[in-house]
Amino acid sequence: MRIFLDNAATTPLDPDVLSAMTDVMANNYGNPSSIHAEGRKARSLIESARKTVATALNCSIGEIFFTSGGTEANNMALKNAVRDLGVRRIISSPLEHHCVLHSLDSIREAGTAQVEMVKIDARGHVDLEDLKQRLAQSEAKTLVSLMHANNEIGNLLSLEDVSKICADAGAMFHCDTVQTMGFYPIDLNATRINFLSGSAHKFHGPKGVGFIYINSDNIIKPYLDGGAQERNMRGGTENIYGIVGLAAALEKSYANLAERSATIRDVRDYLKHELAAKYPDVKFNGDPDRSHYKLLSTSFPYSDKGTMLLMNLDLAGISASGGSACSSGIDVGSHVVGHLNPDSQRHTVRFSLNHHNTRAEVDTVVRKLAEMR
């Protein structure tokens, strides 16, 4: 049986979520925009799912809009803030997910807003003092876009601290929570965030569906033009079974948060301990003590044999990665680790876990690694 340790890329679909989705596929085929009984039933499923998400995040149902995933949600937040809300400056970080960085490239190339990158410290954390200084340097309407947990090294951002910094400066705050949704409680009534994005397949839901939270103070126009779906915010017939699956997965994730997080933390800490004990030359990227508990980014000294490390792990039945999985299926390494260690010749392996992983699997991984170095 294979050992799957690439849960930052995607997670296995939960059987209960699959059951909920297949029931919708088999029995609820109406178009949610139709006024007949089948359409009304489909609409009720979507609105029930919206309520589930809003309840989990402690926000209004009118602030949740379903999308095709985190990439669309992030594009929507960044580009619509510039187009519709008069944002003329965006402060982000060079360690963001590519869908944010490439969106910022598009905005910069179009000349519609200035883009700045906040300083990053040696461990990969956002320099909050630099953020404060940058916000004080201009009166231009500004959006700060920073992810909650880095998808490659796991470093966590304090939502409360950044929210307060932005509020004090009169800036807007967009947060990519794709990696943390379902793993950390988020209270949008207590923490001021203007835009927030999530993606179902990162918390044991289906691929191809996500959501964006848009604070009710921010009135934007549709990102995708079409019909009046998603409260006139996103054209296109809704992915009903995907939306139902998203809600089922999110609800189950938070209902089992304490148990799941304890299990993942234990296995991740065990992995870190065993790697350090067996391989004194291993290094841990970022700041493992202030990072997402499901993720451990490691690096090993360069060797000719090590150049095939990820492929050899795969051949041994172990799924891991070198960095983000969003490069057309090609391992191009980690732009995050490359930014922190530009001259490093080490081999990076990102291990990311879910609550099904075990210490026994860790023992197998550590043993197999010895044959590959």
Q: Which superfamily is assigned to 3-11+256-370 in CATH? A: Aspartate Aminotransferase, domain 1 (3.90.1150.10)
Of 133, 51, 43, 147, nearest in space to 95 by CA:
147
d(CA 46, CA 34): 13
Structure tokens of 249? 């997965």
Q: Check if 326 is active-site.
A: yes
**What pLDDT is stored for residue 325 in this prediction?**
57
- 130 has pLDDT over 70: yes
Q: Using the 8-state DSSP alphabet, how is residue 143 labeled?
A: E
Catalytic residue among 99, 166, 175, 326: 326
Confidence of residue 232 (pLDDT cuts 50, 70, 90): confident
List the strands of the sheet with 64-67, edge to edge.
64-67, 210-214, 195-199, 172-176, 142-145, 89-92, 114-117
Q: What's the rounded mean pLDDT across residues 114-127?
A: 97
Tens of pLDDT, residue by residue over 288-304, are: 999 999 999 999 988 77
Domain ranges (residues) in the chain: 3-11+256-370, 15-255
Confidence of residue 334 (pLDDT cuts 50, 70, 90): confident
**What pLDDT is stored for residue 329 in this prediction?**
46
Specify the CATH class of 15-255 in words.
alpha beta
Structure tokens of 279? 């391989």
- In this structure, are residues 131 and 166 in contact, taking their beta carbons and an 8 Å threshold? no
**What pLDDT is stored for residue 105 in this prediction?**
96
- In this structure, are residues 340 and 122 in contact, taking their beta carbons and an 8 Å threshold? yes
Report the C-alpha dihedral over residues 53, 54, 57, 63, rounded to 10 degrees. Answer: 120
Half-sphere exposure of 173 (CA within 13 A, CB side): 23
Q: Which residue has the higher pLDDT, 370 or 319?
A: 319
